[in-house]
Amino acid sequence: MTERAPYAASSAASRGRVHPEPAAAPRSEFQRDRDRIIHSTAFRRLEYKTQVFVNHEGDLFRTRLTHSLEVAQIGRTLARLLGLDEDLTEAIALAHDLGHTPFGHAGQDALNACMADFGGFEHNLQSLRVVDVLEERYAEFDGLNLSFETREGILKHCSPANAARLGEVGARFLSKRQPSLEAQIANLADEIAYNNHDVDDGLRSGLITLEQLMAVRIFARHHDAVRAAYPALAGRRVITETVRRIINTLVLDLYDTTRANIAAAGVASIDEVRAAPPLAAFSAEVLDEHRELKRFLHQNLYRHYKVARMSSKARRIISDLFEAFMGDARLLPPEHQMRESLEGARAVADYIAGMTDRYAMREHRRIFAVEEIAG
Ligand code: MG
């Protein structure tokens, strides 16, 4: 096993929590963060939230929960290879999508449009808001009171205006500094995971075909190698074996390139990592192939007419709900009305963002379906 690197995040040297707490021993601070994330309500809801496909469409598609577990798995592998803190990487990976709205990107875009006059809505910022404010589980504080390093990793991007009001955790966006390597790795593990599961789910759903994918270099290369090595192999196993090899290639390339970047930068502490340019990266060649795959998915899967129809319905559900709640706050469940300290629109956005796909559909029916007047 790789020894802990000097530039790894360290539980003992953590910048701490907003509300100071006794040490987590025998767990590390980052283990405690990871455990709190797993026990959160928002984490359990990931089971019924999706990225491309709507949750009830098929039992075999990824949900945000299985996606988050895949990101954590890839992240931990890389963290271990690089001597980073595995628990911190895992905590960031498991929390990175907690702020996602129902219905994936379509839901996020719709809620952002609804919130245009109220500061907008950004799922990444919402993930931080979930762990900082919205979870209600502990006697002493709102949110999960996670350590600085986990919060820093969750906040992947941020506008200067939002950064300015977030204090310490937003400061790096104003001073143009990087987060820990654990955060950089978790971020790229997310990209590896979703590109590859979208290939897998896209093929499974029939929305994209093998013939189309053969135009994508990284897929064609591995697919041909699998065919050559196993001429008798047929059906889905050719695809799963191909996807597995693509993931492996990406992970190993990310490892090699990041290790070389770390050596070239000569970083010897997490603060030097934060001051350096981004160190976790793919090689130029693999990045190019990875982007080609991403472009393919954008053009062929995310813009497929069947996906466009789902997205259009999703947008309608989100904007109908938003309008209804903004027009009459009495339609909101009491616990959401009671957030007096927050402005009304933000409370509505929090409520909608917290919904699972099926809950949002049900809530829409309860409010708008005239045949269900009992609500
Ligand atoms: Mg993700």
- Picking from 307, 342, 359, the residue at the C-terminal end of a domain is 307
Q: Could you tell me if residue 278 is inside a domain?
A: yes
* 25 CA to centre of ligand 1 in angstroms: 30
The DSSP annotation for 291-352 comes to HHHHHHHIIIIIT-HHHHHHHHHHHHHHHHHHHHHHH-GGGS-HHHHT-TTS-HHHHHHHHH
Same structural domain, 328 and 272 = no
- Is 86 buried (19+), middle (13-18) or exposed (0-12) by CB count in 10 A? buried
* 65 CA to centre of ligand 1 in angstroms: 10
* 196 CA to centre of ligand 1 in angstroms: 12
3-state secondary structure of 17: strand
Whole-angstrom distance, CA of residue 9 vs CA of residue 149: 8
Same structural domain, 203 and 71 = yes
3 state SS for 113-175: HHCHHHCCCCHHHHHHHHHHHHCCCCCCCCCCCCEHHHHHHHCCCCCHHHHHHHHHHHHHHHH
* 66 CA to centre of ligand 1 in angstroms: 10
Whole-angstrom distance, CA of residue 81 vs CA of residue 265: 18
* 129 CA to centre of ligand 1 in angstroms: 16
Q: What is each CA distance from 134 to 137, 335, 339, in whole angstroms?
A: 9, 12, 10
Same structural domain, 297 and 323 = no
Give the pLDDT of residue 60.
63
Give the pLDDT of residue 118.
92
Whole-angstrom distance, CA of residue 329 vs CA of residue 343: 12
* 97 CA to centre of ligand 1 in angstroms: 6
- Picking from 269, 287, 307, the residue at the C-terminal end of a domain is 307
Asked whether 279 and 17 are in contact (CB, 8 A), the reply is: no
Q: Which two tokens stand for residue 325?
A: 């709640």
Give the pLDDT of residue 57.
61
Same structural domain, 77 and 130 = yes
Whole-angstrom distance, CA of residue 241 vs CA of residue 171: 43
Q: Could you tell me if residue 16 is inside a domain?
A: no
- Picking from 292, 307, 322, the residue at the C-terminal end of a domain is 307
* 350 CA to centre of ligand 1 in angstroms: 19
* 124 CA to centre of ligand 1 in angstroms: 10
Give the pLDDT of residue 341.
44
Sign of CA dihedral 241, 245, 251, 252: positive
Same structural domain, 322 and 300 = no
Q: Could you tell me if residue 285 is inside a domain?
A: yes
CA-based end-to-end distance of the chain: 57
Eight-state DSSP code of residue 55: G
* 317 CA to centre of ligand 1 in angstroms: 23
* 17 CA to centre of ligand 1 in angstroms: 25
Phi, psi of 175 (to 5 degrees): -95, 5
- Paired with 147 in beta bridges are 17
Residues whose Cβ atom is located within 5 A of ion ligand 1: 97, 190
Same structural domain, 333 and 193 = no
Same structural domain, 64 and 179 = yes
Same structural domain, 218 and 322 = no
* 47 CA to centre of ligand 1 in angstroms: 13
Q: Could you tell me if residue 290 is inside a domain?
A: yes
Q: Could you tell me if residue 373 is inside a domain?
A: no
Q: Which two tokens stand for residue 303?
A: 């813009």
* 10 CA to centre of ligand 1 in angstroms: 25
Q: Which of 372, 359, 353 is nearest to 99 (CA)?
A: 353
Q: What is each CA distance from 138 to 40, 60, 133, 134, in whole angstroms?
A: 11, 35, 11, 11
Q: Note the Cα 197 to chain centre separation in Å.
A: 14
* 334 CA to centre of ligand 1 in angstroms: 31
Q: Could you tell me if residue 203 is inside a domain?
A: yes
Q: Could you tell me if residue 115 is inside a domain?
A: yes
Q: Could you tell me if residue 238 is inside a domain?
A: yes
* 372 CA to centre of ligand 1 in angstroms: 36
* 189 CA to centre of ligand 1 in angstroms: 9
* 31 CA to centre of ligand 1 in angstroms: 21
Domain CATH number, residue 251: 1.10.3210.10
* 3 CA to centre of ligand 1 in angstroms: 28
* 91 CA to centre of ligand 1 in angstroms: 13
- Paired with 17 in beta bridges are 147
C-alpha torsion 320→99→159→268, nearest 10: -170
Same structural domain, 209 and 146 = yes
Same structural domain, 230 and 168 = yes
* 254 CA to centre of ligand 1 in angstroms: 18
Residues of the chain with pLDDT under 70: 1, 53-60, 338-342, 372-375
* 327 CA to centre of ligand 1 in angstroms: 33
Number of compact structural domains in the chain: 2
* 56 CA to centre of ligand 1 in angstroms: 19
Asked whether 322 and 116 are in contact (CB, 8 A), the reply is: no
Same structural domain, 354 and 228 = no
* 313 CA to centre of ligand 1 in angstroms: 22
Which residues constitute the domain of residue 168?
29-307
Same structural domain, 300 and 261 = yes
